[in-house]
Structure 1
């Protein structure tokens, strides 16, 4: 298909009749990218379809798919997409957590033992939520692993994916309001800008 007109607008219009939008990682207009964010980020704000940003030349089907979850409906959609887009891949479900008020408690010089107990409870709850998500998905248990880590998701997600050797990172897309669409979530934007692997960003109800 060849169309004349604004590149981004024409791609998005065509994508409305497709199941998945695939885009190269390099911007179509580097100068504009510096001012308004990358082409991929701008299209992600507007696209209602799952979008895969490709960074490496494909040599085979995806084999190691890293799914970052936060237990939202968007995360469930991301996990379901991963199961369908890579039916023979190993899926690694990842969650990073921060205990509520932990930083304030540390500043208040709360005993370290109490903080460890808080961390343990947060971790146990996160593991339970991850297991529940996996059980609700259609992922074959023998092809799924999971991990829960303490830390800011924005800062640890792409590093964890690289350490695991992911060839695809899958994230849920948050936000349907004008503000939510204009400002990509911190984890999504951080991962898009730093990941070495392909990245898929999935809306709440992907059509696939």
Structure 2
């Protein structure tokens, strides 16, 4: 089962210890190997950082029966981190938030890693007492959303998965500014809701074998805020969100749903950069039934059309950016 190789990043803070525990549990569950890296953003690491990291690796091997080794150098920059991530399928991030002007303008180090490395990053904030039992997956109905669901489900085949989509209300404001009637705006809102429900059916239809534990919900408003509200409402232990490619300047001025979920949430977040779907596809292939198993799926005649305003280029479906 995936992932096969994890890199756990810690600064020996409380959050860093949670990340080590979570990475060890994931490796034990999936038979993956684990590499540990100490970071210092900014400042000096403990004088015995390398020895402490090696001791953690030995403890993890003995406790969980997995392969674990420590990187014998400390990462002081994002480039140092990227050097150690080349063979990793999944990064488990446990460094406390950085402070200062650089992080204000350029974002947190984890955001820089996400921009430069097309690899899923699991940001851990809570203690790891067991496998993830409930997930909220933020979807925008693209093909990438299927990969998000597959990767989230691969973390624990028994987890309850809730697919969530937020319908943005930005277009309604534009319609009101253009003095469109309230009746037309209401009709547009209903059309968006119908489209979202049909697309949610299209997305969940591929998971017929697990329909008893794959739920769905639709919200209205700012996508990032609504995802966090839904996570609190459902009590989900993990939020899975995709991220489109973007520069540091673009993220600073416009932000992204993934960035806002990372900065605004208090729970664990799995961020999957669009373009890093090989890992998710391998998970989906491993999850397919064998040749002797019977597959029963509902068939639908195509994918539902988008509301007209979407086809004209004004996206109002809460796309994850």
TM-score surpassing 0.5? yes
Structure 1 equivalent of residue 271 of structure 2? 201
Q: Counterparts in 2 of 1:1-208, with a 5 A limit?
A: 1-4=70-73, 6-24=76-94, 26-27=96-97, 29-31=98-100, 32-98=102-168, 101-137=171-207, 140-175=210-245, 180-182=246-248, 183-184=250-251, 186-203=256-273, 204=275, 205-207=277-279
- Quote the offset at 1:111 in angstroms: 3.1
User: Does structure 2 conserve the Cα–Cα contact (< 8 Å) formed by 1:53 and 1:199?
Assistant: yes
- Quote the offset at 1:181 in angstroms: 4.2
Secondary structure of the corresponding residue to residue 110 of structure 1: coil
Deviations 1:26-48 (A, max 9, x none): 13x43343342112212111121
- Using CA pairs under 8 Å that are at least 6 residues apart, name the structure with larger relative contact order, 1 or 2: 1
Deviations 1:4-41 (A, max 9, x none): 354432332222212110001513x4334334211221
For 1:170 and 1:138, locate their aligned partners in 2 and report how far apart those are by CA, in whole Å.
20
For 1:48 and 1:2, locate their aligned partners in 2 and report how far apart those are by CA, in whole Å.
21
Mean Cα deviation higher: 181-190 or 61-70: 181-190
After superposition, the Cα gap between the structure-2 partners of 1:138 and 1:52, relative to the gap in structure 1 and judged at 3 Å, is farther
For 1:136 and 1:181, locate their aligned partners in 2 and report how far apart those are by CA, in whole Å.
33
Give the paired residue count.
203
User: Does structure 1 conserve the Cα–Cα contact (< 8 Å) formed by 2:151 and 2:279?
Assistant: no
Misfit runs of 4+, over 4 Å: none
For 1:8 and 1:139, locate their aligned partners in 2 and report how far apart those are by CA, in whole Å.
41
- Which blocks of at least 5 consecutive residues in structure 2 are unaligned? 1-69, 281-321
Secondary structure of the corresponding residue to residue 126 of structure 2: coil
After superposition, the Cα gap between the structure-2 partners of 1:145 and 1:40, relative to the gap in structure 1 and judged at 3 Å, is same
After superposition, the Cα gap between the structure-2 partners of 1:96 and 1:88, relative to the gap in structure 1 and judged at 3 Å, is same
User: Does structure 1 conserve the Cα–Cα contact (< 8 Å) formed by 2:169 and 2:222?
Assistant: no
- Quote the offset at 1:189 in angstroms: 0.9
- Quote the offset at 1:103 in angstroms: 1.6
Instruction: Using structure 2 for the length normalisation, give the TM-score.
Output: 0.58
Instruction: Using structure 1 for the length normalisation, give the TM-score.
Output: 0.86
For 2:220 and 2:213, locate their aligned partners in 1 and report how far apart those are by CA, in whole Å.
24
- Which blocks of at least 5 consecutive residues in structure 1 are unaligned? none
For 1:138 and 1:191, locate their aligned partners in 2 and report how far apart those are by CA, in whole Å.
29
